[in-house]
Amino acid sequence: MALGETGTKYLQRAFWLSLTVAGILFGIRFHLTSSDGGGILTWLVPVVTAVVGFLLGNPIRTDGVSQRRLIVNGSLCLLAIIGMGTLAVLAPWRTQTDDDPQRYLGRPLRIGVTTGSLDGWSRGGSSNGFDSALADFIAARFHTTWEAVPVFGHDRVQMLEQGEVDLIIATFTINEPRAQRVDMAGPYFIDTTGVWMNAAKAGVPPDEAKLCQAEGTTGVGAAGQFRRQYLGRKFAIVDTEQTTVECIDKLRRRDDKTTFVATDWSILRAADTNLNILDGNDYLPRDVDVRGYVLDPGPPPGGDPLRSSDLQRYGVALRNNHPRVCAALTDVINEFLARDDGFAAAYDQNLQAILGAVQGDWHNPRRADAPGTPNSYSCM
């Protein structure tokens, strides 16, 4: 049975509309899974498809096409393109689709590094530092480049959440509170935190002595424990600075009453190799010099509840809910730990003269935790 004129029109409209929707759906899919250039094709593919569908659904006739029909059909087509294209760009699930190692790590990376010059670890974002060497290693594996973005201890997680940086490599310890907000791969370095004393200030009276902690660092926990035990006995004032660098500078200054600093051993030792250091908690170090000053505290002993949080496991932080990217970073960290041009070279160039030979050194974790390892908080 032949269709009437009205039925034919509906079939024609359904024909070009179906092509338009198909093209737009392809554009949405392409936009969600491709690299940044996919945004152009998100619009280009549906537009071309819609135009082709419009022409096929409205064949050119010798008696011409009415202007009203062109306006109506063209307007419907344009509305479909704008509506579906906007959905593709503004879809709320778009932010959850970059869990692809090459897409996340293969572009120029913005890596958060410690604000200021932290000797041995990161010097102005150059590769003259252990953390910077790891950043170089990761960038090389993904054939890209990176730029340093200075970060303070208290805003590292927030900067990741807000997309201001792609990674954090800044002596950033893996722990549960952080792992609940960001993904962390590692560890790539092992250290111990504590409260350390400048032996040259042993004569500062306890009612004038100060303890310095850096906001947003694990040193705050060490400082809290020290305060509960020794406030009023060894010191009287707690100062809080934005960076560990500021605390160490105050510890070194002769005209400052800062006698104790709460930080990681390797950070403090790298900052000043000539500083005579004592353990503020009077813990027995692994190695001391002939005068009793700390040369190497060693890893904190297991089984001591007072030191259960002293072990520091540095990790690479990335935005949350990226398990594939985190797993890929874990593989790269394992490669870094095992290769002579990875951990060994970075340690030799930046830390060996300060912390001792790399062979048998306790700072190398040997392997990063596999994603999902219980109680590791890695890639959780």
**Omega within 30 of 0 (cis) for the link into 187:** yes
pLDDT greater than 90 at residue 115: no
What is the model's pLDDT at position 132?
93
Structural domains of the chain, with CATH:
5-96 (no CATH), 101-190+314-355 (3.40.190.10), 192-307 (3.40.190.10)
Q: What are 41's two structure tokens?
A: 């094709």
pLDDT digits (tens, 9 = 90+) for 348-379: 999 988 887 765 679 999 999 999 898 899 99
Question: Measured between alpha carbons, how far is residue 218 from residues 222, 262, 306, 351 in Å?
Answer: 7, 9, 15, 21
- Quote the tokens at residue 296: 């190497």
Give 1's pLDDT tier (boundaries 50, 70, 90).
very low
Looking at the predicted structure, is the pLDDT value of residue 241 above 80?
yes
Indicate the helix (H) or strand (E) that contains 191: strand 183-198
Threshold 0.85, pTM exceeds: no
Note the pLDDT of residue 107: 96
pLDDT greater at residue 23 or residue 39 = 23
Predicted local distance difference test score (pLDDT) of residue 36: 44
Please list, in sequence order, all residues whose beta carbon lies within 8 angstroms of the beta carbon of residue 269, skipping any fewer than 6 positions away.
277, 354, 355
Q: Give percent of the chain above pLDDT 90.
A: 62
* CA–CA dist 263, 188 (Å, integer): 18
How far apart, in whole angstroms, are the C-alpha atoms of residue 350 and residue 267? Answer: 12
Written as one letter, the residue type at 163 is: G
Backbone angles phi, psi at 284, to 5 degrees: -80, 115
Q: Where do we find the tokens 């293969």?
A: 106
285-342 pLDDT, tens digit each: 999 999 999 999 999 988 887 788 899 999 999 999 999 999 999 999 999 999 999 9
**Beta bridge partners of residue 183, listed in sequence order:** 318
Antiparallel, parallel or unpaired: β 109-114 and 167-168: parallel
Residue 62: per-residue pLDDT: 45
Q: Does the pLDDT of residue 129 top 70, yes or no?
A: yes
Q: What is the pLDDT of residues 192-202, one digit of tens each?
A: 999 999 999 99
- The dihedral over CA atoms of 298, 303, 307, 312, expressed in degrees to the nearest 10, equals 60
Among 3-12, 203-212, 237-246, which is the least confidently predicted range? 3-12
**What is the number of alpha carbons within 13 Å of residue 31 lying toward its C-beta?**
26
Q: In the chain, helix, strand, coil percent, each to 5?
A: 45, 20, 35
Per-residue pLDDT of 54-96, as tens digits, reads 555 555 454 455 566 656 666 666 666 666 666 555 555 444 4
